Amino acid sequence: MVTPIHEDGAPDLPGVERMLHFLAGRGCHGMLLLGTTGEGPSFSPQERFLILQAAAKARSQHPGLRLLAGTGTPSLDETIQLTQQAFDLGYEGSVVLPPYYFRKVSDDGLFTWFDLILKKAVPSHGVLLGYHIPPVTGIGFSYDLLRRLKDAHPDSFAGIKDSSGNPEYAQGLGQRFGQALFVLTGNDRLFSIALQSHASGCITAMANLFSPWLRQIWETYQLGQPDPALQEKLSAARVILDRYPPMPPLLKGLLHQMHCLPQWPVRPPLIPFSDDLIPGILSELNSLST
């Protein structure tokens, strides 16, 4: 979920609630707050808490909606504190980046780091997902590291959000772990491949715009009737959007034009998306539905 903010950069807490209601009405089983698309690392711990609190308040109107919190930072203590706060607010799980400042740490070091978070911050009723996004963090989760974490914390370490964009990695998760590891893909183009490899669903940036498509792909797969034509259309849409990185300002611009939501700004170092490009992108996206 994108994070609504005011022109001065402060979190737009009523906007957070509005965005959650919007997505809940478009087929989402739940939302990830303060992930990459949500500009999580751009906010202070105090701001993150207020944003998570606003979403938890809005969730009360949607029974069954699940909330995940992006709580990873390079600081172990800060990550533990944010993770504890998310569970105190009633979140079902946290999604935690590896400590991305040191990019050459060993699996032993990463295991120690996550082991401490799981022991100190995740309650018996909560779960933690590793956030695998090497193009952003520079480090990720090897299969062996996932196995060690799952063996050490079989209940609280649920699995992984895989935003690597690597089909071989996605298929390898299924081959090595089957359904024992809870996997959510972060790439729209790989959604069907991930489902075929025992993934449970997805958390993607494009769900802000096209969650009904993603929900339909998920439901047809559950019925044993995959929809390759819709997957092809979703993949084509992702190709279009990937030409205009980074994603948060683009999504906020498109949400404003496509769904009449406010024109929310972004936090530096991101800059607003050029309004001049929006009509052309919309034309390309609209052509997929004809």
Mean pLDDT on 21-31: 97
- Could you tell me if 68 and 93 are in contact, meaning their C-beta atoms sit under 8 angstroms apart? yes
pLDDT tens digits, one per residue of 228-284: 999 999 999 999 999 999 999 999 999 999 999 999 999 999 999 999 999 999 999
pLDDT exceeds cutoff 90 at 290: no
- Could you tell me if 217 and 192 are in contact, meaning their C-beta atoms sit under 8 angstroms apart? yes
**What is the pLDDT at residue 261?**
97
**3-class DSSP state of 251:** helix
Residues identified as active-site: 36, 101, 131, 161
Report residue 107 as tokens: 């699996």
pLDDT exceeds cutoff 70 at 87: yes
pLDDT tens digits, one per residue of 29-79: 999 999 999 999 999 999 999 999 999 999 999 999 999 999 999 999 999
Q: How confident is the model at residue 289 (pLDDT cuts 50, 70, 90)?
A: confident
Distance CA 137, CA 99 (A): 8
177-208 burial, b for 16+ CB within 10 Å, e for fewer?
beeebbbbbbbbbbbbbbbebbbbbbbbbbbb
pLDDT tens digits, one per residue of 104-122: 999 999 999 999 999 999 9
Q: Would you tell me how many other CB atoms lie within 10 Å of the CB of residue 10?
A: 11
pLDDT tens digits, one per residue of 127-151: 999 999 999 999 999 999 999 999 9
Per-residue DSSP letter, 276: G
Distance CA 159, CA 181 (A): 5
pLDDT tens digits, one per residue of 151-162: 999 999 999 999
Residues in the chain: 290
Q: What is the CATH number of domain 13-227?
A: 3.20.20.70
